[in-house]
Amino acid sequence: MSGLLINVDNSFRERLWKNLIIAIPYFWLLLFFLAPFLIVLKISLADPIIAQPPFTPLFQDNDDGSMSIYTTFDNYLFLFQDFLYLVTYLSSVKLAFISTVLALFIGYPIAYGIARSPQPTRNILLLLVVIPFWISFLLRVYAWMGILKTKGLLNGFLLWIGIIDQPLELLYTDTAVYIGMIYSYLPFMILPLFANLEKLDIRLLEAASDLGAEDGRYSRMSRFPFLCLESLQGAA
C-alpha cells in the first residue's frame, strides 16, 4: 500500500512539474503580449484628453453612484476615413507579400541544398544560416545602410569595375526595404523549409522516376504537396 502511495505521489509531482514548465511560456505571452495588447485596445476605445493618463477612463462614476463603461469608436472611424492610413496599410501589405515571395524563391534552393548535403556539411551550412542571429538586429540593419548608401561599398564597387558612371540611389527606397527585410528574415524562411525537406523521403522521387515519370512531372507530383506546406510554414 505504501509503495502505491509513493508511486501516486511521484506521478503527481511529475505531472505538476510538467504543467509548471508548460505554463512558463504561456505566462510570458500573457504578461508581455496579451496584457499590453489589452491596454492598447482600451486606449483605442477612449477619447484623448489633457490629463494624466492622456485618455478618458474606461469606467466612469455617475452622479447617482453607479458605474458605467465609456467607449468610443471615433478613433477607428478616423482611421478608416483618412485615405493616408489605407494607402500606408496597402503599401505595408505589398512590401510584406513581395518580400515573402522573394525570400521563398531564395530560401527554398538553399534549404533544399542543405537538406540533401552530407551530415558534416549540413551542420556547417546550418551554422552559417544561424550565425546572423548572434548579431544585434539593429547592427545588421545599420550595416546594410553602410553598404547601400551613395558612397557605400556597393556603389563604390560598381563604380570601380565600370558598370555604372554615377552612384545609384538605393538607400531610402523600396529596393532597400526589400533587401533589408529579406536579409533579416531569410533564416526564418530557410529553417522551416529545411525541417520539412529533411523529412522528405528521397525514395519517393526515385520510385516515381523508376515508374517512368518525367523529371518535371514526378517533381511536380511528389514535391508539390510538401512545397505547399513548407511555403506556408516559412511565410508564417
pLDDT at 76 over 60: yes
Among the listed residues 45, 51, 48, the one whose alpha carbon sits nearest the alpha carbon of residue 70: 45
pLDDT in tens, 140-187: 888 888 888 888 888 888 888 888 888 888 888 888 999 999 998 899
Mean pLDDT of the chain: 80
pLDDT at 222 over 60: no
Give the torsion sign (CA, 116, 120, 125, 129). positive
HSE-CB at 179 with a 13 A cutoff on CA atoms is 17
The domain covering 83-235 belongs, at the CATH homologous superfamily level, to MetI-like (1.10.3720.10)
Distance CA 175, CA 86 (A): 22
Asked if residues 180 and 145 have their Cβ atoms less than 8 Å apart, the reply is no
pLDDT at 42 (0 to 100): 86
Q: Which helix (H) or strand (E) holds 55?
A: none
pLDDT at 214 over 70: no
Domain boundaries defined on the chain: 2-76, 83-235
pTM of this structure: 0.69
The pLDDT-based confidence of 232 (bands split at 50, 70, 90) is low
Cell numbers placing 94: 505589398
Alpha helices (runs of H) in the chain, residue ranges in sequence order? 2-29, 35-44, 74-81, 83-115, 119-130, 137-148, 153-161, 174-197, 202-210, 215-235
Among the listed residues 152, 206, 142, 213, the one whose alpha carbon sits nearest the alpha carbon of residue 180: 142
Mean pLDDT in residue range 79-97: 87
